[in-house]
Amino acid sequence: MNRKKILLGIKIFVAISLATQLGIFFYTSYQNGGISFNIPLKGMSFCMLGIAFFLSWFEGPITGLRIYFLMRVINPRITIITSIKAAYANIFMGAITPSQTGGGVAQIYFISRDKIPYAQSSAGSILCFVCTMFFLITALISTAMFHSPTMGHSLQLMIKSASVAVGVTTLIFVLCMFFTHLINNLKFTLFAHFKSKGIIKDENGKIEGFLKKFAEGLLNCRESILLMAKRGKMALIVGYLFTCLFFAVRLIIPYFIITGLGGNVSVADVMYIQLFITLVSYFSPTPGASGIAEVSSLVLMASFVASPVVAIYTFLWRLCTLYVNTSIGGILLYRELKTSDSA
């Protein structure tokens, strides 16, 4: 793994996150008449905040169990410990790379270190991705049908429109996996046609290289799904259920934080908005969606969180849903890389 890129990603992630958290603090302080470091303890429930922090520790193990049950069909040698370590490494690398692109690479690296062939490790990572895709489709359909009597019409319309757009894109990608040969042939035919007409210029071959990698990715996804359909239907169902459990934990944590800070909100409303923020985070170009996730939360959750504590909410939300598990993943990856150096 490229350590210089990892270090650069950490620096960018920390810098953007710190700048955003400070920006939110000063902005909300200005809105409330000046900077104040007094935390309004009245109405707070430390029990609810404790539940939120407690739930944050389950994200890694839940993801690890998903990896374990999916990988067991591919290679029975996989262990739960390796799976959980791979899950934390996935969370860490996803946090320091744009659109969480490094997460799958870290997961494959950890599993391969346990003497499991790279091809099998990659297949397991693809299956986790497929489970996530199927969950997103299910969740987006639910989002499009959801209606809240307490939320503004314009806010709901914006979330539903964006959800439908993301849902259609995800569905197209899933369909592409089942018609890989047709899609790949059409793609390369169109590319060759536009290139011959001079519409597309690809002197260094980067576009063609990208198309080949994308084609390989679609084929690998399809092969992994067919393998599970033949040998591990139950494992795929279990993997999907663990995916649902992971997102349920992540989406409900903000409810306990808001309630702990003295807010009175509906669980459904909070999970509805958090699902949208999660989707935004997946497509964010910044490492770990730093900056974009915090600002999205500030804007969308403003009606649920009291103005004096919105900066505290934003920090606690990111602490429970990202910072804790990212730190654990970083420590595990550092130890693994150090072990590989001494070996």
Residue 175 included in any domain:
no
Q: What Rg do the C-alpha atoms of the chain give, in angstroms?
A: 22
- Compare 170 and 97 and report the one with higher pLDDT: 97
Q: What is the pLDDT of residue 103?
A: 87
Judged against a pLDDT cut of 70, whether residue 36 lies above it is answered with: no
**Nearest CA to 112 among 70, 137, 75?**
75
pTM for this prediction: 0.81
Query: pLDDT tens-digit profile of 220-233?
Result: 666 666 666 666 67
Query: pLDDT tens-digit profile of 173-196?
Result: 666 666 656 555 655 565 565 566
Residue 170 pLDDT level (bands cut at 50, 70, 90):
low
Q: What is the pLDDT of residue 249?
A: 94
Residue 328 pLDDT level (bands cut at 50, 70, 90):
very high
Residue 303 pLDDT level (bands cut at 50, 70, 90):
confident
Number of Cβ within 10 Å of residue 113's Cβ equals 16
Q: What are phi and psi of 71, to 5 degrees?
A: -75, -25
Calculate mean pLDDT across residues 146-166: 67
342: three-class secondary structure by DSSP: helix
DSSP assignment of 265-314 equals --HHHHHHHHHHHHHHHHT-SSBTTTTHHHHHHHHHSTTTS-GGGHHHHH
Calculate mean pLDDT across residues 290-311: 83
Query: Cα(152)–Cα(150) distance, rounded to whole angstroms?
Result: 7
Q: What is the pLDDT of residue 16?
A: 92
- 228 Cβ contact list (under 8 Å, min separation 6): 70, 73, 127, 235, 236
The per-residue pLDDT of the chain, averaged, comes to 79
Number of Cβ within 10 Å of residue 42's Cβ equals 5
Domain count, the chain: 1
Residue 26 pLDDT level (bands cut at 50, 70, 90):
confident
Query: pLDDT tens-digit profile of 230-282?
Result: 666 788 889 899 999 999 999 999 999 999 988 888 888 888 888 888 877 87
Q: What is the pLDDT of residue 80?
A: 93
Q: What is the pLDDT of residue 264?
A: 82
Secondary structure percentages of the chain, helix, strand, coil, to 5: 80, 0, 20
Residue 64 pLDDT level (bands cut at 50, 70, 90):
very high
Q: What is the pLDDT of residue 87?
A: 94
Residue 238 included in any domain:
yes
Residue 247 included in any domain:
yes
Q: Which domain holds residue 75?
A: 42-158+231-342
Cβ atoms of 260 and 73 within 8 Å: the answer is no
